[in-house]
Homo-oligomer: A and B are copies of this chain.
């Protein structure tokens, strides 16, 4: 009993207020994310950070103002040392503002919208441990530059609550607007198919069509486009899969209905941009443990989504930064100093190396998946975008003509011409 602790080890109690929805219909609900946080806590407890004692308090917060109340209702001496979440943009905004004002770090695998990029004032203590929508949009910007696209049609649905597709499309718009002719088409999320016919005209007028909507709506749009002979080499179709979750279009055409064959033919022209999936052995163990936890809780979850990974990695990053800050003589109450030590940093996360940019936002790696076997209708990754160095890696057997719009300037020649 009472072995002397090494002076270099970290001994501290950390109160963490976790603001996520209780309602498990959200893919970032408490029941889904808490096992990932617990997994990270256990990993930390077995190593250099054994002296860190985390006290998590989970408070249910959906996309409204409950998260703000959970924070401001606390007496000054009961404020947390760290806040995890919220994910929803409208819940996160006031929480981050007040927490930044009170010098409390906020870490989220959400708050992905463009608006949070400005860390100079209101959002100064926000660290985003999942790739934001702007990071995803970089994939399109780099492809467009490489393949010489000029006009883009953005199609999305807006649910007016989480607004994931609205904010996704905002990111693409912000990155492409300066040097592209862009049009935007919004669908009501309750009746997204009502106006599918009206999409035909704008599709005719653009080279590249980028969609963010439900998988079934993507299929309907592609079927429609195919019937109207819009799926030609004059036009590229993209579909955005968000969060490594099949809630948003995941590129699968099969439904077991009488349109499957037609859909397969249409999807030969559809490409999907998605987070690059990890294959690291540690991630397999993490996934397995997560699934076990969900079974125990009776939650029906089989996908390991981006939020689980992001909040897991957030705890590791906080431990690293707190350690550094305390070695420099700061306390856990100095949110600004701790936050600064999370930014511009690379560390090993559960699914691979995590690279945080100088603005406290995680860099993202994304895959572009296309149909490579038109008979079976199967897909493969044809290129990948690596956010840390901004590089686009194209598979050697991918024909770049497929992403070059007919009549457009086309990709730069791989042979220097002078």
Known: A75-B75, A75-B76, A94-B94. A101 touches B64 (CB 8 A): no
Measured CA separation A72–B100 after assembly (Å) = 13
Contacts of A75 in B (CB 8 A): 75-76
Contacts of A37 in B (CB 8 A): none
Q: Is A408 an interface residue (CB 8 A)?
A: no
Chain A positions 102-152 with a Cβ under 8 Å from a chain B Cβ: 122
Q: Is A65 an interface residue (CB 8 A)?
A: yes
- Inter-chain contact B72/A122, CB cutoff 8 Å: no
A44 to chain B, nearest CB (A): 32
Q: Is A230 an interface residue (CB 8 A)?
A: no
- Inter-chain contact A64/B98, CB cutoff 8 Å: no
Q: Is A242 an interface residue (CB 8 A)?
A: no
Chain A positions 38-85 with a Cβ under 8 Å from a chain B Cβ: 64-65, 68-69, 72-73, 75-76
Measured CA separation A122–B101 after assembly (Å) = 23
Measured CA separation A98–B70 after assembly (Å) = 11
Measured CA separation A76–B75 after assembly (Å) = 7
Contacts of A98 in B (CB 8 A): 68-69, 72
Q: Is A226 an interface residue (CB 8 A)?
A: no
A78 to chain B, nearest CB (A): 11
Measured CA separation A69–B98 after assembly (Å) = 7
Q: Is A163 an interface residue (CB 8 A)?
A: no
A260 to chain B, nearest CB (A): 40
Q: Is A333 an interface residue (CB 8 A)?
A: no
Q: Is A292 an interface residue (CB 8 A)?
A: no
Contacts of A97 in B (CB 8 A): 65, 68
Measured CA separation A310–B336 after assembly (Å) = 41
Closest B-chain residue to A64, C-beta based?
A: B122
A375 to chain B, nearest CB (A): 49
Measured CA separation A98–B73 after assembly (Å) = 9
Measured CA separation A68–B68 after assembly (Å) = 11
Closest B-chain residue to A101, C-beta based?
A: B69
14 A–B contact pairs at CB < 8 A? A64-B122, A65-B94, A65-B122, A68-B94, A68-B97, A68-B98, A69-B98, A69-B101, A72-B72, A72-B98, A73-B101, A75-B75, A75-B76, A94-B94
- A-to-B contact residues, CB < 8 Å: 64-65, 68-69, 72-73, 75-76, 94, 97-98, 101, 122
